[in-house]
Structure 1
Amino acid sequence: MVVVSHGTGGSGSDMEWMVRPLTEAGFRVAALDHHGNNFVDGYEPEGFLHVWERPLDVSVALDVLAREQPLGPVGVAGFSLGGYTAAALAGARVDPEILWGVLTGAVPVPEIPEFPGALEALRKKYPEDESSRRVVEGAGGDRSDPRVRAVFQVAPGVGGFVTPESLATVRVPVEIRWGGADTVCPYEADTRPYLEHIPTASGHSAGPDVRHDDFFAPEPADPAVRVRVGQEAAAFFLQHLV
């Protein structure tokens, strides 16, 4: 069983390039639409900024699927924010203090193209008081799922928000791919923390000229990269789940 987690504002349908090679390899695959963060059902500010809730979507989906038939060993593949989601299910935790800084404006964050003004919309729903502080303090909780046995990250995000201490606790195999020309989730800020601090992590660049949108744009500059990375994900899960 492999669960596929899409990037910010995307959809499970965007991940066909990952789903196809996994199904062809014989895996049962579930590509999620994350609540409040997918273009099918619509956007909510929490879906973009309460990133720690995303892994819970996967665990709930696994609960439902397990009632239909045995899951067997589970893997999670994720792109961009989905890359963080996959790592969180293996033990990665975000730093509540950094998140609080984001909500209060002390820590600047790039504008979210899919949801301009997401931070302002969130502040209207959760004023800066003790209740919102408690929400963020709960963000650092453990979101790992013991059913997850392997993780494949593609251009992972939120690397600067996760704690090195939590990454050091990850014990399942983790494989990572990133674009050398990615300015949305750049290597130094987002990928390197996962690669350096997860003791089981390995990976390599998908190419020096590969951009973030080469993994989701309708007409990517390098259409072959998605096919190649999807095939590498299938090979990785065949090695660690079968």
Structure 2
Amino acid sequence: MWEPQRPPAAPAPLVVVSHGTGGSGSAMGWLARPLAEAGLRVVALDHHGNNFVDGYEPEGFAFVWERARDVSFVLDVLAGERPLGPVGAAGFSLGGYTVAALAGARVAPRVMAAVLAGQASLPALPEFPDLLGALGEKVPADELRAALGGAGADVSDSRIRAVFQVAPALGSLLAPQSLRAVRVPVEIRWGGADTITPFDDDTRPYLAHIPTAVGRSAGSDVRHEDFFEAEPVGEPVRARVAGEAAAFFLRHLS
């Protein structure tokens, strides 16, 4: 949790931050701290089975649509503690997909089924290189089929009023019609030298299909790694993108 440095009289706008594959909420401080300094309340969560704090589980990497439910769970808990102000969501990499799912983006079930069956290419996962093998050992075939039956479910949360994506993933695995149905403001930043979530495969579908989406490159030489490698690598671009995210949320949540 990051509380705003200058708490307003009314409930402060809240931004939920979603980390990338195998990351953690605490590692998203580069984005969360500037948001709090701008007067926003921020919470960053550890997605179950997909964070390096608690450890990895194959379902946490394979069942990506469950991530949005993590965020909704967090919002339910926070709402039980005190009234929520206007809510936004920001995410990096797989977290970029997660926050789009909260706004209505849906996985294309047939495409996801092909990926998990090994019939379509799986994005490189250095944190879990044997994902398909581990998933097959742990999850029986009938349970896997049942889980995939919910892959295209609507996991949106009506409390989310604005979305900021940084180098978002999975654009090519989403149903275009679901992206066309997104109505909240969406702003996107990506790296021109990103080889992990390349623009054409992962970012372009969001920009091309979400009617409210706008965005720009964070730099032609910016890599995916520049958003998570230890300082000072990437520090300037992270600070700039975080400042742009703060301005975006202040504009749409205030």
TM tier, shorter chain?
over 0.9
Distance 2:195 2:124 in 1: 13
Instruction: Show the counterpart of 1:88.
Output: 101
What pairs with 1:26-45 in structure 2 (closer than 5 Å)? 26-45=39-58
Distance 2:162 2:187 in 1: 8
Confirm or deny: 8 A CA contact 1:103 1:123 kept in the other structure: no
Matched, 1:188 2:233: no
Aligned length: 241
Distance 1:20 1:107 in 2: 39
Confirm or deny: 8 A CA contact 1:213 1:220 kept in the other structure: no
Indicate the percent of aligned positions where both proteins have the same amino acid: 67
Report Cα offsets for 1:36-77 as digits up to 9, x if no partner. 000001110111110000000000000000011111110000
- Structure 1 residue matching 2:200: 3-state secondary structure: helix
Distance 1:87 1:175 in 2: 10
Q: Which runs of 4+ in 1 moved over 3 A?
A: 219-222
From 86, 95, 100, give the equivalent of 1:73: 86
CA displacement at 1:220 relative to structure 2? 5.6
Instruction: Show the counterpart of 2:183.
Output: 171
Instruction: Show the counterpart of 2:132.
Output: 119
What pairs with 1:1-242 in structure 2 (closer than 5 Å)? 1-128=14-141, 130-219=142-231, 221-242=233-254
Question: Given the two structures, how large is their TM-score scaled by the length of structure 2?
Answer: 0.93
Question: Given the two structures, how large is their TM-score scaled by the length of structure 1?
Answer: 0.97
Distance 1:25 1:86 in 2: 21
Distance 1:216 1:111 in 2: 17
CA displacement at 1:221 relative to structure 2? 4.1
CA RMSD of aligned residues (A): 1.0
Letter in 2 for 1:225: V
Distance 2:186 2:56 in 1: 30
- Structure 1 residue matching 2:162: 3-state secondary structure: strand
Distance 1:198 1:4 in 2: 20
Distance 1:221 1:63 in 2: 36
CA displacement at 1:131 relative to structure 2? 3.4
Confirm or deny: 8 A CA contact 2:179 2:210 kept in the other structure: yes
